[in-house]
Amino acid sequence: MSNVPTITLNNGVTMPQLGFGVWQVPDDEAASAVTAALESGYRSIDTAAIYKNEEGVGRALAATDVPRDELFITTKLWNAEQGYDTTLRAFDASLAKLGLDQVDLYLIHWPMPGVDKYEDTWRAFEKIYADGRSRAIGVSNFQPTHLNRLIEQGGTVPALNQIELHPSLQQPVPRAFHADHNIATEAWSPLGQGGDLLKEPRLTEIAGRHGKTVAQVVLRWHLQLGNVVIPKSVTPSRIRENIDVFDFELSAEDMASVAELNTDTRLGEHPDTNNWQG
């Protein structure tokens, strides 16, 4: 069994707090990466239609001995498919590629406010949920204004919002909004995509004191804040390193020190202006 703690979503479904992300993993490498993750104890996998590796992920799921009910599989609706009927069709296609008859979490990938179809899209998500084909439904890259519009529809409150979140972009306003509305916060690019963040002197000092790597300290910081994290790597030693974060704890001083690293620096698109459907 995996030693990763779970969080309970607003519909009672539990989800591992640490999972494995597969953005930019080519389809023909996805099966071996996911297999390495499963062997290292990961049980949650985060993919998306636009990653074009749902089939590779599906091959690893078909081959593993891990029972389906111990796995937590997330995929996402791509922007070009927003709208009620298109969403239902896109969901069927994702399930077929994954080789599953149900996912654990289905997310709207981006709100695309300039296109303004996410309310209709959400109604299709509610049908998928009502039909038992996704155990939970949520969103990604939604700002509080976008979430408010879904909440005002009066139906299902998203279980989770997956947003860019790391020590250089700590997202205090969305995190507080999520906490107020019982929406789980999931961090994408939790390691800042492995860039300069992992060379930050303050993090290096904390890591040295704990006998851990900077990546492990950053993941631990997320976990202690209550964030769900989905670090990505295709390197087996790093895949193992990124889940080996449950044998140490950052002090209140360490947490306060990391809090000071926020510079509101985004690596990805801004959700208010991204309407890309490519």
The residues that are catalytic are 51
Nearer to ligand NAD, 89 or 270 (CB): 270
CB of 154 to ligand NAD, least distance (A): 26
Nearer to ligand NAD, 22 or 160 (CB): 22
Long-range contacts of 143-147 (CB under 8 A, 24+ apart): 143/111, 143/174, 143/271, 143/272, 144/173, 144/174, 144/177, 146/111, 146/113, 146/118, 146/271, 147/177, 147/181, 147/183
* Site stretch for ligand NAD (CB under 6 A), options 2-10, 98-106, 182-190, 244-252: 182-190
| Residue 149 found at the interface with ligand NAD (CB under 6 A) | no
What residues pair up with 7 in beta bridges, in sequence order?
15
* Site stretch for ligand NAD (CB under 6 A), options 5-13, 58-66, 174-182, 193-201: 193-201
Q: Which of residues 47-106 bind ligand NAD (CB under 6 A)?
A: none
Alpha carbon distance 102, 40 (integer Å): 24
CB of 195 to ligand NAD, least distance (A): 8
Alpha carbon distance 136, 42 (integer Å): 19
Single residue of 159, 233, 243, 250 touching ligand NAD by CB under 6 A: 233
Q: What are phi and psi of 134, to 5 degrees?
A: -135, 130
Residue 224 has which token pair? 């202690």
| Residue 242 found at the interface with ligand NAD (CB under 6 A) | yes
What residues pair up with 228 in beta bridges, in sequence order?
186
| Residue 190 found at the interface with ligand NAD (CB under 6 A) | yes
What residues pair up with 75 in beta bridges, in sequence order?
106
* Binding interface with ligand NAD (CB under 6 A): 21-23, 46, 109, 140-141, 162, 188-194, 198, 213, 215, 230-233, 238, 241-242, 268
